[in-house]
Chain A
Amino acid sequence: MRLFFKYMGLELKSQMQYRTSFLLLMLGQCLTPFTSFAALYFLFERFGQIQGWSFYEVTLCFAVTYVAFSVTECFARGFDTFSSLVVSGNFDRLLVRPRNTVVQVLGTRFEFARIGRLVLSIVMLIWAAIHIEIDWTLLKILTLVLMCVSGVFIFTGVFILAASISFWTVQGLEIANIFTDGGREMTQYPLSIYQTWVKRFFTFIIPFACFNYLPLTYIVGREGSDSPFYALIPLVGILFLIPCLLVWRIGVRHYRSTGS
């Protein structure tokens, strides 16, 4: 763990060397969720609601997704660009070091410019939480925090899975975007609006539902989900990281260097 923070410090220092570029990038990163959110706002202005979900409820959902995703992107970006490590053969260097490969890959890249996006998402989260018509209890606030944490774990797991593919294919596959960027796009709205096969897949195979839709039904007090059990579902989502790490380990064992 100490190693991880050391890597982080190093990256921060190196990125701070280009200060204006860093600030500009940070501003730009802020704007990406901004247009998605504008689209969401405009659609609500036109239609009023989406299958019984109000604007602030969906905003809360949207914000939780973006908080989780931007934290993940900030820290787990190394997995996103992992295929280049395999292609260039540089992964060999990580293997000979006496440390865990996961920590080392995590350490290859931190994108601190994503903090811009994170700040905006947190502001959005708080704004939605204030305007939404809910009696906030301690448990509900705890659930909200757990949702964000669980989201980070799930997205990290998905990133690791996507990176593990390149142990077998060498090249990264664009199709993996379905689960990273696609997951982000999809979880901006409550899962209940989608068709059944989408719902099933993203609840039981990749548990996106665990970090936003299911606990959200508890927070907004939907019928049938008022038992405190729903508040603890995000914890289940955290467990998703375990099979992902397992796949990663199988992948590492399967790894053959490309040579060059």
Chain B
Amino acid sequence: MMKPYLSVFRLRISNGLQYRAAALAGVGTQFFFGFIFIMIFQAFYAHASEAPSMTLSQVITYTWLKQAFLALIVLWLRDNELFQLITSGNIAYELCRPSEIYGLWYAKLLAQRLSSALLRCFPILIVVGFLPEPYRLQLPPDFVSGLLFLATLLIGLLMIVALSMLIYISVFVTMSPAGSLLLFSIFGEFFAGLIIPVPLMPDWMQKIVYILPFHWTADFPFRVFTGNISKTEALTGILAQCLWLAALILFGKFTMDRALKRVVVQGG
């Protein structure tokens, strides 16, 4: 039953792995941005009057993880093909297929992110593991935290794909991807802790962030890695992640069915 989805997934992975040169150029850019962010945080920490709830070395590790796994966690990664399907009316062909469209697109988007992350994360992670102090990536405090990190990152990835499915679904209504993509990615990025880690935000902002699903996708796994979140907290966090994931997928499927019922095939 899962077979068509799996083969779409495999196809997309090998497709994505073709673009090695582009990935390499991307890696260079990620390094530069990583260094700039770290230097800014260093400067802030240098004369901090009171110690924040996250140490500088944790922030540095957090920054490198963010740069390495960027493809897994940002919302602005988009598949123009899908947008064109919707706006050009070729969605009609997709509807003719005997498999369900939500699952198909989900597999496609997931593969795209994984292949691009696989190409980019290892060179970055290896190099930053050997950088001189204070730039070096600190390994997780123990083996279990490492495993928990992998689990949370994976569920976070499933969540981010479910979230980005909502963007695609919204295009059925608005017919122009620019608006919803922009709004979603700007706020989503901020709430996910991609601009500054959540513990560095003021308390009232943290309260808002913890209500929304975005922080489970990036901030949470990274802080599990740095040891900023304890193992017991991580376990309850995983439960919350799973609940959110189920809710997001159900909501996505529901709205997609509604949208498809009234879909207008645009022109010919």
Q: Tell me the A residues contacting B by CB distance below 8 Å.
A: 21, 24-25, 28, 31-32, 34-36, 38-39, 42-43, 45-52, 173-175, 177-178, 182, 185-186, 189, 193-195, 198
Contacts and interface: CB of A to CB of B under 8 A. Distances in A.
Contacts of A173: 25
A194 B40 CA distance: 7
A36 B205 CA distance: 15
B2 interface: no
Most buried by B among A51, A52, A174: A174
Interface in B140-169: none
Contacts of B202: 42, 45-46
Instruction: Sort chain B's interface into a size bin.
Output: 35 or more
B95 interface: no
Closest 3 CB pairs of A and B: A193-B43, A28-B182, A174-B25
A184 B7 CA distance: 42
A28 B195 contact: no
A185 B52 contact: no
Given A28-B178, A39-B195, A46 B200 contact: yes
Contacts of A45: 202
Given A46-B52, A175-B29, A39 B39 contact: no
B45 A47 contact: yes
B91 to A, nearest CB: 21
Most buried by A among B29, B32, B43: B43
B183 interface: yes
A185 B190 contact: no
A35 B33 contact: no
A21 B25 CA distance: 33
Contact of B33 (A34, A36, A185): A185
16 contacts: A21-B179, A28-B179, A34-B186, A46-B44, A46-B52, A46-B201, A47-B44, A47-B49, A174-B29, A178-B28, A178-B33, A182-B32, A182-B33, A185-B36, A194-B36, A198-B36
A35 B200 contact: no
